[in-house]
Copies of this chain bind each other. A is one copy, B any other.
Amino acid sequence: MIGVFDSGIGGLTVVRSLMERLSGYDIVYFGDTARTPYGTKSAETVISYSLENIEFLLKNGAKIVVMACNTASSVASHRVAETFDIPIFEVVTPATKQAVNRSGNLAVGVIGTRATIKSGIYEKKIKALKPAAKVYSVACPLLVPLVEEGWLKKPETMMIIKKYLHPLRVRQIDTLILGCTHYPLLKDQIQRKIGKKVIIIDSSIAVAEKVKSFLDTHPEVDHLLGKKDEFRLFVSDITEQFEKTARITLKRKVFLEHIKL
């Protein structure tokens, strides 16, 4: 199976993108809803949770793993790569490459959680590819709770988005990376506030494309993955809110299995 984990259910946007591009592949998802959110926590804690989550996915049949959480991708990628001996994908690198390829003036904006932005990983990776690029990053910690509350179109949400994006508008970026898997659910609202001409890079789509191209060129790995359209959805805590958001994100019936790590 393809294993996917996230701090919560935001990572289901990655599952949705994988299902669109790799139709029929078996997927096992773990959402760490009992310890969500990761974005306000320390690197040390996020690393230890990430290692536990991957162990769990391996025990449940994962042969490759996608870290659907930007925070985990930002702070735990190195430790995870050292620890496990299977292909592991993170969401930062594919989004970075897309941004650099598509940006005209190489003025790139990045929005994400406090932990992701503090790690500086997007800026480092963009500058490694294009040293002349200008990168402007803004932490938007209130967007995750707003999405989780379903306040997608409220005027308060629009005001908060406008406030967060203001410093990026001033810098005249032409490309904006959504550096958090919750943000695609606010993509239209973000587009409206940042301006129509700005190219928005959705990290959940970028990583799904990366996984697809990897499997296309690595048949020996592809061969290990089941293709019976099986989907298992594990969470460490169940609330009504999660079930509802999971159903809306995936646009199909879901059955949440509760486990305790």
User: Which A residues contact B (CB, under 8 angstroms)?
Assistant: 33-35, 40-42, 44-45, 48, 114, 141-142, 145-146, 148-149, 151, 155-156, 159-160, 163, 236-239, 241, 260
Contact = CB atoms under 8 A, between A and B. Distances in A.
Contacts of A142: 142, 145-146, 149, 151
Nearest to A151: B142
Interface centre among A44, A151, A156 (most CB of B within 10 A): A156
Nearest to A143: B145
A237 B41 contact: yes
Contact of A159 (B159, B236, B237): B159
B156 A160 contact: yes
B45 A41 contact: no
Given A35-B34, A142-B149, A149-B141, A239 B41 contact: yes
Contact of A239 (B40, B159, B238, B239): B40
A74 to B, nearest CB: 15
A31 to B, nearest CB: 13
10 contacts: A34-B41, A35-B35, A40-B241, A41-B237, A41-B239, A44-B237, A45-B236, A48-B260, A141-B145, A156-B163
Interface centre among A41, A146, A148, A236 (most CB of B within 10 A): A41
Given A35-B35, A156-B163, A160-B156, A238 B42 contact: yes
Contacts of A114: 239, 241
Nearest to A34: B45
A45 B237 contact: yes
